[in-house]
Structure 1
Amino acid sequence: MRDLTPLPLQPADVPWPTQRWPEGGRRPDGLATLADEIFGLPETQSVSYALLVIHRGRLVYERYAAGANRGYLQYSWSMAKSVTHALVGILVGQGRLDITAPAPVPEWQGDARAEITLDQLLRMSSGLEFAEDYYDGGASDVIPMLFGEGRFDTGTYAADKPLAHPPDSVWSYSSGTTNIICRILRDVIGNGPSGMLDFMHEELFDPLGMRTPTPRFDRSGTFVGSSFLLATPQDFARFGLWYLRDGFWEGRQRLPEGWVDYARTPTHLDSANGYGAHFWIDPDNPERFYCSGYDGQRILMAPTQDLVIVRCGRTPEGHAPAVFDRVNAIVDLGW
């Protein structure tokens, strides 16, 4: 494991945002200008619904537009993958899952896929065939999984894919991988969607004060953790702060020791992308790690600056730099 920037502790004089976000704190020069630029981009390039900045545990900036407000639920899209990482971590801490063991997937018994581990699934290194294309319905696996023939049992659709590479030899981002994990979670937790909802609330959402998360399930009872979780930006920010605080919240370590470091340790890192375990890593600033979703959803954690930034909106991939260059510039202000 490479050297990682230490994660900051919650300041002793700042209450945890379980009930409400503590507000205030200094806003550095340039923050308002960069936010104006983000919200002022032409609609043909980007529409921003929400921008929140958390510094040292306080909500120092919050802005909404395009009809959104504090109570408006936003789509996570693939930010839900990072929530799936947290659910796995909780079960690991309870001794109910071992990520180093072969993944319990019945379809894989008796062939080479039986060697795939949960660790490899979390790091997108299973070797399974899966085309992560959001536009070409003919070439895509993610479109039929979410909206076509696979939508009723997303985990089985993905688990049926053959190996394209030996396990742990190639990194390949795959929404199918996450739904295989979520089918495993369904079976370990039991009692279908109601059991999963109870577990999510009792072990994750309620302790953090996240009151709005709305996960979606397929007909098989599997949480579609690749893509479908709605929540307010303030609740997304609570999740980000929890990871910035190393899984600690209000006097209790709620994730296993080292679980957040596992998420932010690179599996794949090149000039274009960085990825750990169900979290992305900024290749230009590898200490920064983030949850990312289609159309430009993001929860960014910056340990050195003790920042969490949440951005929700609608931005085509080709225009994403216009938003996220400015989000990164916010991190680089004189905090």
Structure 2
Amino acid sequence: KLILNVLLFKAPMSSIKNNIKIIGWGSAVLLIILVIGFLLLPKEYDIPTMLRSAPIGTGYAAKMLCSGVFVSGREPDSIWNEDLALMKRNMIRGRIDYEKKSVDAYALGFLFKQTAVYRGDCGCTLDIESSADAFWKDCDTPLSDPTADIKNAPWPLGDILPKTAPHSEIDIQQLESTLDWAFSEPVPEHPVRTRAVIVLYDGKIIAERYANGYSSETRFLGWSMTKSVTSALIGILVREGKLDIHQPATFPEWKTPGDPRGNITIDQLLRMSSGLSFQEDYEENPDSDAGFMFFTMKDMAAFAVQKPQEAKPDEKFNYSSGTTMLLSRIIRETVEGSGSHQKYLAFPRQELFQKLGMRSAIIECDPSGTMVGAGFMYATARDWARFGLLYCNDGVSNHERILPEGWVKYSRTPTPPWPGYGAQFWLNSNEKDRWLPNCPSDLYSAWGHEGQFITIVPSRKTVIIRLGQTADEEKNWNHDYFVSGILKAMPVKTALE
């Protein structure tokens, strides 16, 4: 109470002196440091908001630093200076324990501590009321195929690229010019930070470039591109006859008589048209539902499933990471219900990643053991390209149908309340408000925070991967210019061009 009163300038001096006698000078010094620290915070952050959002900030810092170092293999200084620059300015610091493979993060030197722990093939997880270590032993067993000789197998299942020249009609100069633009930094105050670009034409890599410090071996965080992978995993369960997306989701929390949420279908969850309340805007609101769920909750799906319904299904579009976490829970309950946690963790690797050659891919778990299908997948740029190629090939890889027939078409079908969105993919088919006006209408994309894109253009046999760390990417990254520039280099011309 004293701390809050001092911070809010409500405590009289006599009260402060009396309380110092009670708490002691040591604690008083800490209090003074705390007050000064809060006074130094940016003006846009009021104190109550900071008190609510500080655990989100330390959780974000611990998680990003842990994954950046132990999953991506990056240098801590690079992570602090780029990915965590805002945290650094807001007086959040971290400590890496390389022996325990963990990271502690604090605000103002000692407050709001959060810890992230590296869990092997499960990536990094925040240690929030964490399960016993025995629970995580499933991650000690490599979940990828250790026998696969990916480096000596031909693309796309392996990494050996053909030595033949690219298609004779590809405009190499136009292609290189567009990549030069993508990696340029015209306004240093607003860095673009493109880290990787790959362009596929007709299934082959025709362009690949990385920023300094990154390579074909680097795992990149896809953020919300992971949602599109979650959609694919739902599709696989549909193909196996284990799910019907047009049936209601079977959450016990929604089965109370009269609860309208009991009628929400998996299809409506995939389309973000369930009508469930969820505040996604974590950039404008530091303590939004998304930030609170991702960085302070043990069980993310348990947080999301409690959200009330604010509109009838298919009446309102509401982009929601909480909704995708409900899909992640459905996947876990469907797979784990007939097996074990180990079987569940192995499911995406055995049924999707290995069949595409995506052997770097990791979907990290929340502290309850559910994969964070809303945003925590890491993979190399080539593996993200392999995923895009699956969709460009209508769900078939290496002559094997991975996704059920018609699933790709379904994923690209506009959602009734918002035709710019499909089933966890962004679409370009809305004639009244086209997302990328200079690109073909059949284009669709997995899109993640800070400018992560898998852009698929079936009519042009083209898949484009762009990975980076662009703050406010809608202002600082022109995806329409980038994609249309690449398509101008492709052999087949469209009416739009």
- The answer, yes or no, to whether TM exceeds 0.5 is yes
State whether structure 2 residue 455 is matched by structure 1 residue 307. Answer: no
1:137 deviation in Å?
Answer: 4.1
Contact 1:133 1:139 in 2 (8 A): no
Give how far 1:120 is off: 0.2
RMSD: 1.8
Aligned-partner SS, 2:199: strand
Tell me, in whole angstroms, the C-alpha distance in 1 between the residues paired with 2:317 and 2:220. Answer: 29
Structure 1 residue 228: Cα displacement: 0.2
The change in CA–CA distance for 1:327 and 1:193 in structure 2 (over 3 A counts) is farther
Separation in 2, partners of 1:309, 1:97: 31
2:159 equivalent to 1:20: yes
Q: What does residue 331 of structure 2 align with?
A: 185
**By how many angstroms is 1:192 displaced?**
5.7
User: What is the rounded CA distance, in whole Å, between the counterparts of 1:177 and 1:315 in structure 2?
Assistant: 25
Show the counterpart of 2:255. Answer: 109
Bigger CA drift: 253-262 or 321-330? 321-330
Partner of 2:149: none
Q: CA deviation at 1:88?
A: 0.3
* AA matched with 2:471: P
Structure 2 counterpart of 1:12: none
| Structure-1 separation of matches of 2:267 and 2:479 | 32
Q: Could you tell me whether the CA contact under 8 Å between 2:335 and 2:344 is conserved in 1?
A: yes
- 1:48 maps to amino acid: T
User: What code does the residue aligned with 1:35 have?
Assistant: L
Mapped partners of 1:48, 1:136: distance in 2: 23
Select the residue among 177, 187, 190 that pairs with 1:33: 177
* Letter paired with 1:196: Y
CA distance in 2, matches of 1:83, 1:161: 24
1:278–1:323: structure 2 CA closer, same or farther, 3 Å change rule? closer
In the TM superposition, what whole-angstrom CA distance separates every residue of 1:219-269 from its partner, at most 9, and x where no partner exists? 222110000000000000000000100001111111111000011111168
The one-letter amino acid paired with 1:328 is S
Q: Check whether the contact 1:240–1:299 (CA below 8 A) recurs between aligned residues.
A: yes
Counterpart in the other structure of 1:165: 311
After superposition, residues 1-335 of structure 1 pair within 5 angstroms as 17-20=156-159, 22-23=161-162, 24-26=165-167, 27-28=170-171, 29-42=173-186, 43=188, 44-110=190-256, 111-137=259-285, 140-148=288-296, 150=297, 152-190=298-336, 193-267=341-415, 274-282=420-428, 283=434, 284=437, 285-317=440-472, 318-335=474-491
> Partners of 1:316 and 1:268 in 2: how far apart?
30
> Secondary structure of the residue that 1:292 maps to in structure 2?
strand
**Counterparts in 2 of 1:262 and 1:41: CA distance versus 1, 3 Å:** same
SS state of the match for residue 239, structure 1? helix
Letter in 1 for 2:156: P
- Percent identical residues: 41
Q: Which amino acid aligns with 1:332?
A: K
Q: Distance in 1 between matches of 2:479 and 2:341?
A: 36
Counterpart residue type for residue 307 of structure 1: T
Distance 2:475 2:485 in 1: 16
Separation in 1, partners of 2:344, 2:483: 34
Provide the rounded CA distance (Å) in 2 between the counterparts of 1:239 and 1:168: 28
Partner of 2:72: none
Cα-to-partner distance string for 1:18-63 (whole Å, 9 max, x where unaligned): 1235344134141111110110124423001100000011100000
| Residue identity matched to 2:237 | L
What does the per-residue CA deviation read over 1:144-174, in whole Å, with 9 as the maximum and x for residues that have no partner? Answer: 00012x2x11111111000010112111111
Secondary structure of the structure 2 residue equivalent to 1:200: helix
| Cα distance, 1:136 vs structure 2 | 3.9
Partner Cα separation in structure 2 for residue 281 and residue 108 of structure 1: 31
Answer yes or no: is the 8 Å Cα contact 2:269–2:324 preserved in 1: yes
* More helix by percentage: 2
Task: Return the offset for 1:323.
Answer: 4.7
Instruction: Indicate the structure (1 or 2) with the bigger Cα radius of gyration.
Output: 2
Whole-Å separation in 2 of the counterparts to 1:197 and 1:205: 12
User: 1:125·1:172 contact (CA, 8 Å) conserved in 2?
Assistant: yes
TM-score, structure 2 normalization: 0.61
CA positional deviation for 1:16: 5.6
Deviations 1:269-300 (A, max 9, x none): 87xx8111101112233300111100000001
Counterpart amino acid of 1:209? G
Structure 1 residues 265, 323: closer, same or farther in 2, change over 3 A?
closer
One-letter identity of the residue aligned with 1:330: I
Partner amino acid, structure 2, of 1:301: I
So what's the TM-score if we normalise by structure 1? 0.90
- Going from structure 1 to structure 2, the CA distance change for 1:228 and 1:257 (only over 3 Å counts) comes to same
Higher relative contact order (CA 8 A, sep 6+): 1
What secondary structure is seen at the aligned counterpart in 1 of 2:301?
helix
CA distance in 1, matches of 2:357, 2:278: 36
Counterpart position of 2:142: none
